[in-house]
Amino acid sequence: MGGRFFIEEKGISLLFLIMALLLLTTLAYVLSYLMPMKHKSVIFPLHSLPALALAQSGLEYGLRYSADQGWRTRLDLERLNNAQVCQRNLGRGRFLIQYHSATDTLASTGEITDSFVRRVVYLNNFSTFLRLIFAPASPLPCWATETRQARFFIQNVRNEMVTLTAFAASWNQSPPTRHIIRIDLDGVPKFAGNYQNGRPAENFNRGGGQQTVLPGAVIPVVIEWNSNILNGTNILISFYTPAGKSYTFNLDADGDGLPAC
């Protein structure tokens, strides 16, 4: 009788052991399934903020790069999509930018290396953040007098006025060397002298030494050289505020010369 009880008790213990092993196996399987999900849930917030910072850096880069290149029209701003321009690596990630001219929107995507995390931010009305642009409803830059006097129109598209007090310029040309002798803003002479190609900025020395561009205002700009420029291309004109902020205008972004007005 005692032997039978011992066998039954042993059988019950073995049954409980098998059930315990099954339970532990099931628990291990569930944990092995949940751990990668937990890992991913931790990785996302860990990488999300750096990806957002990269995306925001892309917007700042797009603004600065456009301004430095003198791209002030929607057509010029499409150059931001060029493969050599639209992406930059920063630390353990990168940003990619894309400009949509139809909606005047710049999109920037921040990505973290070896991660599925990415963040996208948008800047609407992108061209208005450049403040001073080529006036879209006015004629394009052109030669007004043979190839010695260039004319273009600029517009203040922000809600604050802009005061300009200095300029700098550079251009490509065939010999003989030419120099700028006159600059008019809004029909008023602002510079008269002898400015050499690529020299540091010079202050306005006529017309009160400054030009204020009111919000929404469109003003004509006339740049005159001492004589006709032979094969003049890539003409860059920068205007400066008293604080040193620059607004660069690329009169010949295509590099093929200006047309006649």
User: Quick one: pLDDT band at residue 226, thresholds 50, 70, 90?
Assistant: very high
Distant-in-sequence, close-in-space partners of 241: CB < 8 Å, separation ≥ 6: 162, 163, 164, 165
Q: What is d(CA 163, CA 5) in angstroms, rounded to the nearest whole number?
A: 104
Q: What is the pLDDT of residues 6-63, one digit of tens each?
A: 445 555 555 555 565 666 566 555 555 545 544 444 444 556 788 888 898 999 899 8
Peptide bond into 176 cis (omega under 30): yes
Amino acid at 186: D
Q: What is the pLDDT of residues 114-129, one digit of tens each?
A: 877 888 999 998 988 8
Distant-in-sequence, close-in-space partners of 160: CB < 8 Å, separation ≥ 6: 215
How does DSSP assign 57-72, residue by residue?
HHHHHHHHHHHHHT--
Q: Is the pTM of this model over 0.75?
A: no
